[in-house]
Structure 1
Amino acid sequence: MSKPTLGSTRQGFIPPFILERIAAHDEVHLQGCAQRTLEVDHYFRARRAPDIVANMDMPEGSPRPGQAARYIYSANYQEVLPGTLVREEGQDESGDPTVDEAYRWLGVTYRFFWEAFERNSIDDQGLPLLGTVHYGQDYENAFWNGAQMVFGDGDGELFNRFTAALDVVGHELAHGVIEREAGLVYTYQSGALNESLADVFGSLTKQYHLGQTAAEADWLIGAELFTERVQGRALRSMAAPGTAYDDPILGKDPQPAHMDDFVETEEDNGGVHINSGIPNHAFYLAAMALDGYAWQTCGFVWYDTLHDSRLTQESDFATFASLTVDNASRRFGTESQEAIAIRDAWQAVGVIA
């Protein structure tokens, strides 16, 4: 299929409704961190990805498939991109944990996509992997802006540094893959699918790295992000959407697990970080029914569907679900356990009858 035009909306890991709750809290430091993060996020949402790419001096890609080309920059606690180059492919550790985590996890994510799906980087053509760390002062987010990944250090009170979590890095890199393939519009159901796919591939990257079966995985997204102060296990749970956190400051995890509880809202681009719990849970149910390594079963099917020409930029849950069932039948057989498990999972969350 032809590649879609890069979109205008950048994808942030922390939903705006969480940051808005923190900004309304009575602790001055937390208020300021959240308000500044929301301002930065608004600025990047307003910028067009093609303009960002056009204005960047992109380093060269990898000379051969299967070899990542990583470039880690530091913004030095300022709001500049990409910043100062501090580590590139093949160089020894820098001694800065944040720099070295970004380098390591980008390499792990690249290796996952290459070894599991034979995908050569974000664009399948060896695109360099650019990451900027130490972005801003106490910046409480991570995002993909159409050209690179950006990681904040967190506020140290609610959020740890965003490079600490492999699945967060995998999630943001996956947004680039999604953008280059289906280009799912980042609003309403297509946007929730965009977020869900990033969660799926972020979780699969962690499972692949740890050598975990579906039954062994925790199915949590961003488990390393919260400090001990937060009453929660992670930002999202694919196994039990709606249960990841319940905290006096952050509020309660709003994700539904079934279409009966689908949230109609204009906030959060139409609930992209909320309703993504439904397709997330469908993937979890299918993977658990099949057990084994999820990237070898459901992961293949979700990846097949991502670059299926029938998946349009505005596809909804039902369209995506029917395509996964069809792709499972094509890859494994119409009456295969994979096709049956995937069909049953989508029925269990109320997306298809």
Structure 2
Amino acid sequence: MAEKSFTVLDLLDFDLKGHNSLNLRCLCGRSGLGREITLPDLNRPGLALSGFFESFGYQRVQVFGRGETAYLEKLIQGGILDNVHHLFSYHIPCCVFTHNLVPPKVFTGLADAAGCPVLQTDLESTDFSGRLLRLFSDIFAPRKSIHGVLVEVYGIGIIILGDSGVGKSETALELVHRGHRLVADDIVNIRCVNGNVLLGQGANKMISHHMEVRGLGIINIQQLYGVGAIREQKEVQMVVKLEEWDAQKVYDRLGTSQKTEELLGVKIPALEIPVKPGRNIPIILETAAMNERLKTMGYHSARDFNQNVLRWIESGEAQTASHGGYDSY
């Protein structure tokens, strides 16, 4: 469900551009523009117009294409209005007529009386449905705010986590200086789209590309490094946790086992990077990003190395090399 109410008026006011535009306009029923849309789906009301109201998805946006509109006109011409009256007895969010179709006056009169908005678009039904569902997927997506820094490194979206003062912002600043891009610093809003894609962006577009560096203060990355150094949003494809070096802790030195972090029900690769003087964390993150790209292409460096070692041992070359070593003394 959406974090805040989403109304028909919000749907009309959405400023979508290009191939995302819905091209909607209100024909009647303006008193109901405050009706909430609670389900991210749509319904074609052909069965309801024929009198079958079992499992009628009245909570959804009702889309009238050419078939539904032609059948509606036939009902009205025949004076069969019971099903139309019954349709508006439900609390429908709104009705949308595609193809620039004009609903019959009887229909708009009933819609006005019921306070149900009737909208019109010049898009075809299939095109409009696809655009509307994409918008709903974004509006109703589960969301979460995380304290961290989101950067894009070699096309991989990496969210850097860690305790305050561990060096998250400084690491991101060095990555930007090396030609990578900042998405958000401090607070990252993450939403899950289509059930398996995590998109991250700044909590506030006005300040998301500013960065706080201790001893330096607030800096504007866009002004310092140019518009090419920032992104509005990016898919989160890796989690990196920075932590102070702990001599008692055993860190992964082979990388044969893949750790994951679960965010909003989606598991993504995760790394724990110990921080101490002398370690170049930005270079490590660049290497991690390139290594992750190799994994997506089907090549796993650590597993390939492990398999090569096993084949070397099984071939007997390891024993020969060992004996050769002793013979050389």
Q: Which TM-score applies when normalising by structure 2?
A: 0.25
Larger Rg: 2
Bigger helix fraction = 1
Bigger strand fraction = 2
Q: Which TM-score applies when normalising by structure 1?
A: 0.24
